[in-house]
Structure 1
C-alpha cells in the first residue's frame, strides 16, 4: 500500500493521540520545566515522522523514525516521574504509557518494513 501523505501513517496518528493526551493531562501543571519537556518530547514524535516522510528517501525517513522512537522513550520515562511526583494518576499514566508503547511498536514495524 502506497502512502501519499504523512497523515495516513498509523504511527503518526498514534503519536498525535499521544501528544493530545500529554497536552491535555499537563495543561494545568505548574512545573513549567517538566511540562515543557514532556510536551516537546511528545510533539517530537509526530513531527519527526512527518519530517522523515517528507524527506522522500527511505534512508532519511528511517533516521527520523529512530529519532521519533527515541522521543517515545523520553515521554515514557517522564511519565514515570510524573506518576512519582503525583502530577498524573495511575490511570492517566497507564493510558499515556500505553499510547507511547503503541506508537513505539508502530514505528518499529514501519522501520522494519522500510528496511525490507
Structure 2
C-alpha cells in the first residue's frame, strides 16, 4: 500500500524544507518571528498538505490539499524574492521550487484523469 512517503513530490518537498531551514538560519534575529517563521511555516506546509491529502479517502479532497500545497509554495516563492530584495539572501534555489511545482501540477492532473475515468 502506497503512502505519502512514497510520493516523489513529498520527498522532494521535505528536502526543500531542510534547505529553507538552513538558509533562514542566517537571517537577522529580529526576523525570527517575522520572515524566518513565515518562510519556515510555508515550507513545512507543502509536504504536510501532501501527506494530509493523501490520507483522505477521496481523490477530490486529495486534489484540494495539493492545491493548498501549491498555494504555500507560491507564498514561499514570494517570501524568497523579498528576502533577496532586502539583502537577506543573494539568491535561492529557484529550479528546485519550479520542479516541485511541476510535480504537484502533474500529480493533480494525473489524479483528475483517473477520477474522470
RMSD, matched Cα: 1.1
Q: Which stretch shifts more, 104-113 or 13-22?
A: 13-22
In the alignment, which residue of structure 2 is the partner of 1:20?
A: 18
Secondary structure, counterpart of 2:19 in structure 1:
helix
Tell me, which stretches of 5 or more residues in structure 2 are unaligned?
none
Task: Report the structure number with the largest CA radius of gyration.
Answer: 2
Q: Which stretch shifts more, 46-55 or 11-20?
A: 11-20
User: TM (normalized to structure 2)?
Assistant: 0.89
Secondary structure, counterpart of 2:87 in structure 1:
coil
Deviating 4+ runs (over 3 angstroms): none
In the alignment, which residue of structure 2 is the partner of 1:110?
A: 107
Q: How does 1:62-101 map to 2 (within 5 A)?
A: 62-90=63-91, 93=92, 95=93, 97-101=94-98
User: TM (normalized to structure 1)?
Assistant: 0.90
Aligned length, in residue pairs: 110
Secondary structure, counterpart of 2:12 in structure 1:
helix
Tell me the distance in 1 between the aligned counterparts of 2:75 and 2:35: 12
Tell me the distance in 2 between the aligned counterparts of 1:42 and 1:16: 8
Measured after TM superposition, the shift of residue 57 of structure 1 is 1.3
Tell me the distance in 2 between the aligned counterparts of 1:57 and 1:99: 29
Kept in 2: contact 1:12–1:46 (CA 8 A): yes
* 1:34 and 2:35 matched: yes
Tell me, which stretches of 5 or more residues in structure 1 are unaligned?
none
